[in-house]
Amino acid sequence: MSASPPSIVWFRQDLRLQDNPALHAALERGGPVLPVYIRDDAGEGAWPAGGAARWWLHHALAALDESLRVRGSRLLCFRGDAGQVLGELAARTGAKAVFWNRRYEPAVIARDTRLKSELTLAGLEVRSANAALLHEPHTIANKQGRPFQVFTPFWRHCLTLPVEAPLALPAGRPVPAPAAWPATSGVGDLGLLPRIRWDAGLAETWTPGEAGAARRLRQFIDGAMSAYADRRNLPYEDGTSMLSPWLHTGELSPRQIWRAVEDVGRPAGLFPPGNGARVFLSEVGWREFGHHLLFHFPHTPEKPLREDFERFPWAEDPGGVRLEAWRRGRTGYPIVDAGMRQLWHTGWMHNRVRMIAASFLVKHLRLNWTAGAAWFWDTLVDADLASNTLGWQWTAGCGADAAPYFRVFAPVLQGQRFDPEGTYVRRWVPELARVPAAFIHAPWEAPAEVLARAGVTLGPSGNYPRPIVDHAQARQAALDAFQALRGGEVVVRE
């Protein structure tokens, strides 16, 4: 009796062994398993991974390879066209099946649909599964059979649906290896790490990999989750889950999160309003909502969902001076600058500060939200196309369930409310560390002798800039621009 032919498991954004339907299906089929990762930037369309996400991906793949080796296997790494790689690998190894877990980005859907057809015609069994979401976008619709565009009814509907239990891979179960491994590159040959090393801050902040995800989830559930509803908006505290990078790369699944939260209390839909666990799971719901929107409105990473915003009169920025000041955390508004510097150093930014910083770009500076989305895409370790698009269109007022454009976050007031003692600002804007709390969010209002004692000099030749725009004037210009849009005009009074 001949041995069973190998199966290929194509890992993508599901870099884990637990709750991995593609790997589970291959193991159930029997025979050797060939775990494969392919860096196919062209297959990602206009959105290949940015710099910080590539750093994370490198270390997540290395952790996956190590986990596979513990089970007698290894990760095969390739660069190039995914279809060509998979076809050639099947021909070389005699593999008769290819398994993968689905993704929902428009370019990836198109690529995967084509590949499934081509590989099937070549005589391979091809199967895909859901591993990234609680509920796939094509399974959710409103009463009219159309996509949801408002979060609350979307999530209320989702809460009526059962959540599948995560698939377990027993600790002692091996991943069967082939008799001979095909020639392949290693994780380090994928070219994911930066040539000029800027990643020290990322390395000191994060532990990519499935084990790191499990530790962080347990730490959050045992600690900050109970007070999540009250403390999640305070950037100086460790009050959020910070699970988004592991979720994006798939070292942790939303089903695993759901089960872990349920295990410490009642079913999610029965948690009382205001409960930390319930509020936290609604944030998982926002991630689901982002994928729902991206699937049904695939043009939104580049264009607003609300078509009228295509005519929005964005401001000019000669030489990109204001955009660069925002990117580098040199706007003169401490809470904005702290967030942008946290992003640059760690590849992550507290969600409340993300909203403040994003609002500042699109409303105070009146620069196109796509410029901010592009910067976040390159600098966030959790750069997820669905969530990034949802967040920026929400802030700009041009997407589903969006914040009204006329809602303009006042950065000084936001800082005073959510960082009252300036703890967060002092950490990320150290030149202001000695400024008293009364002036930490508006240092230009401090008396000269106070600034002198704090070692702060403001202005182009100082160690901290003055505000690059006046809040009141910028707010009025934003409101005028919005009124011009509503009136069909494009001329804005400056």
Provide the 3-class DSSP secondary structure of residue 238: coil
Q: What is the pLDDT of residues 160-170, one digit of tens each?
A: 999 999 999 99
Residue 154 in any domain: the answer is yes
Domain boundary among 243, 265, 296: 296
Reply yes or no on whether 369 is catalytic: yes
CA–CA separation, 368 and 183 (whole Å): 47
Residue 491 in any domain: the answer is no
Burial 408-430 (b: 16+ CB within 10 A, else e): bbbbbebbbebbeebebbbebbe
Residue 204 in any domain: the answer is no
Reply yes or no on whether 155 is catalytic: no
pLDDT at residue 493, rounded to an integer: 38
Are 12 and 42 within one domain?
Answer: yes
Look at residues 236, 231, 175 and name the one whose alpha carbon lies nearest to residue 33: 175
Look at residues 46, 23, 11 and name the one whose alpha carbon lies nearest to residue 190: 11
CA–CA separation, 435 and 383 (whole Å): 34
pLDDT at residue 281, rounded to an integer: 94
pLDDT at residue 402, rounded to an integer: 67
Residue 54 in any domain: the answer is yes
Whichever domain contains 222, its CATH number is 1.25.40.80
**Per-residue tens of pLDDT for the chain, all 494 residues:** 347 899 999 999 999 999 999 999 999 999 999 999 999 999 999 999 999 999 999 999 999 999 999 999 999 999 999 999 999 999 999 999 999 999 999 999 999 999 999 999 999 999 999 999 999 999 999 999 999 999 999 999 999 999 999 999 999 899 999 999 999 989 999 999 988 778 999 999 999 999 999 999 999 999 999 999 999 999 999 999 999 999 999 999 999 999 999 888 665 455 666 688 999 999 999 999 999 999 999 999 999 999 989 999 999 999 999 999 999 999 999 999 999 999 999 999 999 999 999 999 999 999 999 999 999 999 999 999 999 999 999 999 999 876 677 789 999 999 999 999 999 999 999 999 999 999 999 999 999 999 999 999 999 999 999 999 999 999 999 999 988 887 744 333 33
Residue 181 in any domain: the answer is no
Q: Tell me which residue range forms the domain holding 336.
A: 307-486
Are 50 and 153 within one domain?
Answer: no
Are 380 and 398 within one domain?
Answer: yes
Are 152 and 282 within one domain?
Answer: yes
Whichever domain contains 61, its CATH number is 3.40.50.620
User: Would you put residue 293 in left (φ > 0), alpha (ψ -120 to 50) or beta?
Assistant: alpha
Q: Among the options 10, 47, 286, 375, which is catalytic?
A: 286
Residue 186 in any domain: the answer is no
> What's the domain count of the chain?
3
Reply yes or no on whether 314 is catalytic: yes
Reply yes or no on whether 286 is catalytic: yes
Are 264 and 313 within one domain?
Answer: no
Quick one: tokens of 385?
């196309």
Residue 445 in any domain: the answer is yes
Whichever domain contains 421, its CATH number is 1.10.579.10
Domain boundary among 296, 319, 349: 296
pLDDT at residue 195, rounded to an integer: 83
Q: Among the options 164, 283, 431, 444, which is catalytic?
A: 283
Q: Among the options 369, 375, 377, 394, which is catalytic?
A: 369
Are 90 and 47 within one domain?
Answer: yes
Are 220 and 316 within one domain?
Answer: no
Q: Among the options 88, 155, 164, 351, which is catalytic?
A: 351
Reply yes or no on whether 56 is catalytic: no
pTM, 2 dp: 0.95
Q: Which helix (H) or strand (E) holds 100?
A: strand 97-101
Give every CB contact of residue 466 below 8 A, 6+ residues apart in sequence.
332, 444, 458, 459
Specify the residue for token string 């021909």. 91
Q: Among the options 66, 130, 155, 314, which is catalytic?
A: 314
Reply yes or no on whether 258 is catalytic: no
Are 235 and 113 within one domain?
Answer: no
Are 98 and 217 within one domain?
Answer: no
Quick one: tokens of 193?
């790490």
Are 100 and 17 within one domain?
Answer: yes
Residue 493 in any domain: the answer is no
Are 121 and 138 within one domain?
Answer: no
Domain boundary among 296, 322, 350: 296
Are 311 and 233 within one domain?
Answer: no
CA–CA separation, 342 and 270 (whole Å): 36
